Chains A and B, each alone.
Chain A
Amino acid sequence: MTDAAPTTVEALAVRGLTKTFGDGELAVHAVRDVDLDVGIGEVVLIMGPSGSGKTTLLLMLGAMLRPSGGSVVVDGIDLATAPERRLPTLRARHLGFVFQDFNLLSALTAVENVELACNLAGTLGKRAHIRARELLERVGLSHRLDFRPDQLSGGEKQRVAIARALANDPKLILADEPTANLDSGHGRDIARLLRRLAREDRRSIVIVSHDDRLREVADRVLWLEDGAFGELEHMPVDPVCGMAVDRGTAVSAEVDGELWWFCSGGCSTDFRNRHQDAAGSTP
């Protein structure tokens, strides 16, 4: 899974993180008392079913959503209690973001997208331009500097987005489904790129994803369900989509005397059909 162990020094320390929407009987506990330490250079993959609280957790880690309780400490700064007016600066200088939909600014070229993030982090003028070029060269896009997003492939867009996330030289990168909109080949490339950045630059990366391929590059895989981390090691894996599933909520089916667990009825049906086809084709 990994080629070098991360250090134990923490880039991110989360304690008792809680987010509750609404109150009284209508209260929804999206994240419940979560603790999480991410070491320098560590890649942590957070998986879980839809509605498990992954995005809410990521928003709080990214200083975009105020927690109801707990702390989120990055670079020694508690984002949970930082004044509202400081949050944009904290995001611009301490955090890198990689989004599912790439979220490149459509009017800007690849190099300008990265340069803008440099500007927001306080680097201006020629220095910002040079840094943006260097970052794009690093992610293998030196031949696409002046291309606009609509002229780039999905994989190239995500590389630009990763270069942008590096613009402020953050210790922590938060990635939301970074491979979701990519085919398997490009998805693997992006996963390896994230791994390389973590190893070479000693950056910590927290990835929220459904994509099982990302397990390959993660130092640790955490399972979030109903707003709390579960024990992934003890969870069965859906044989169709590869997702770890909770026995309490998963669909189970016995096939040829063996019990299988699935994330959904669709995967279960898919598995049975494949099994029957395989059995039918056997002479």
Chain B
Amino acid sequence: MARRVALARRNLFQDRRRAALSIVGVAAALLLVLVLEGIFAGAMQQVTAYVRNSPADVFVAQEGARTMHMTQTALPPDTVESVAAVEGVAWAEGLRYTTSIVDAGAGQRTAYVFGYDADGRGGPARLSAGSSPGVGEIVVDDVAAAELDIQLGDTVRVFGAEFRVSGLSTEGTNIVNTTVYIRSDEFADLRGDSFAYVLVGARPGADLQVLVDRIETAVPGTTAQTRAAFVRQEKMVIRDMTADVMRIMTVIAFLIAVVVVGLTLFTTTLAKLHEFGVIKALGAGPGRLAAVVAAQSMWVVVLGLVVATLTASVTGLVLEAATPNIQVSIEPESILRTGLSGLVAGALATAIPLRRVHRVDPATSFRRPQ
């Protein structure tokens, strides 16, 4: 498309200080949304870390249980053998799990407690120090350990029993809670012998959805899900829990963006009203004038989004460094969504300036500007 004179950009940046203030104002509003979404996206990454890092292809739970969070699930111990017998299953392991408190004396945290076979597949994805739990031992997440001043060899209490810290795991702590791992048989001694989940490995080349259907048919009273479906369900729970807060903050940020862009355009337009009259006199129609005002709005929003994205990334790094249990994940979808909201805000903000421009009389070009 052939180029036109960039009147909108020139008008906007003629007063660089005003343009910079507007861009910073919009960026601040968008930054609020990006950082909040980043924190929640990070929290989702953390919350789903165990499932995402698990070698299991399929998770089997009590019928109707589709998440780890906000859910109780109990399966009879013989479910493991029943699942293992299903065609297409390469291996099956029982996993014990519940929510409790890890008490380090100096402080305590809510924790997801996993009971797994020390030589099995249900343990932490990686240990940053120490070793898997032996009898009377526990693995604590390294972030929570740092917070609670727990060292290898220290003693913590879980389920009212004392455990010696044998190792430190990673990626297991989020804003809400942490994760700890003990031996499966000790878990059974303290909380009963039922399993919460059965982890299933599929035979190579197996269709996972077919396998899921087969397990649910062969083992009544269970719900089976692929790992991806399980992660989706987990994220959905978190999203549902935080949706209202996110919505409120997004609306506030949206309104701030509308006001900032609106004020910018209004002052720029007022300052240029006589010139808009001249452009009209020279033959610009309403569409061309609207395009100039809209382009100014778009410039403010796009540059505001760029500044907000860069600032959010830096803010995320600073937050993560200052608060290790917070992970900030600025995702492309979030930037896109925030940018689109910003553009809608920008479009709304053009309403009043456009009205003023539309009403300006081209005959004013024959009078001295006031």
A residues adjacent to B (C-beta < 8 A): 55, 58-59, 62, 64-65, 85, 88-93, 95, 97, 99-101, 103, 105-108, 112, 115-117, 119-121, 124-128, 164, 168, 176
Contacts and interface: CB of A to CB of B under 8 A. Distances in A.
B272 to A, nearest CB: 8
Contacts of A93: 283
Interface stretch (B52-60, B247-255, B273-281): B273-281
Contact of B282 (A58, A59, A91, A107): A91
A124 B3 contact: yes
B14 A106 contact: yes
Given A88-B284, A124-B2, A103 B365 contact: yes
A234 to B, nearest CB: 30
| Size band of the interface chain B makes with A | 20 to 34
Given A107-B10, A108-B10, A116-B279, 18 more contacts: A65-B363, A99-B278, A100-B366, A100-B368, A101-B368, A103-B278, A105-B278, A107-B14, A116-B5, A117-B282, A117-B283, A119-B4, A119-B5, A120-B279, A120-B282, A125-B3, A164-B282, A176-B366
B62 to A, nearest CB: 68
Interface in B1-16: 2-5, 7, 10-11, 13-14
B5 A108 contact: yes
Interface string B351-369: 0000000000111011011
20 contacts: A55-B366, A64-B362, A88-B283, A89-B285, A100-B366, A101-B368, A101-B369, A103-B281, A105-B279, A107-B14, A108-B10, A112-B5, A112-B10, A115-B5, A116-B5, A119-B4, A120-B282, A120-B288, A126-B3, A176-B366
B283, B288, B362: which has the most chain A beta carbons within 10 Å? B283
B278 A121 contact: no
Contacts, number: 90
Contacts of A100: 366, 368
**Which residue of A62, A64, A92 has the most chain B CB atoms within 10 A of its CB atom?**
A64
Given A88-B285, A92-B283, A59 B3 contact: no
A266 to B, nearest CB: 21
Contacts of A89: 283, 285
A89 B7 CA distance: 19
A154 B311 CA distance: 46
A61 B214 CA distance: 85
- Listed from nearest, the 9 A-B pairs whose CB atoms lie closest are A92-B283, A125-B2, A124-B2, A107-B10, A107-B14, A91-B283, A88-B285, A103-B278, A116-B5
B193 to A, nearest CB: 78
Given A97-B365, A120-B288, A88 B5 contact: no
A120 B284 contact: yes
A127 B279 CA distance: 20
A62 B366 CA distance: 11
B313 to A, nearest CB: 33
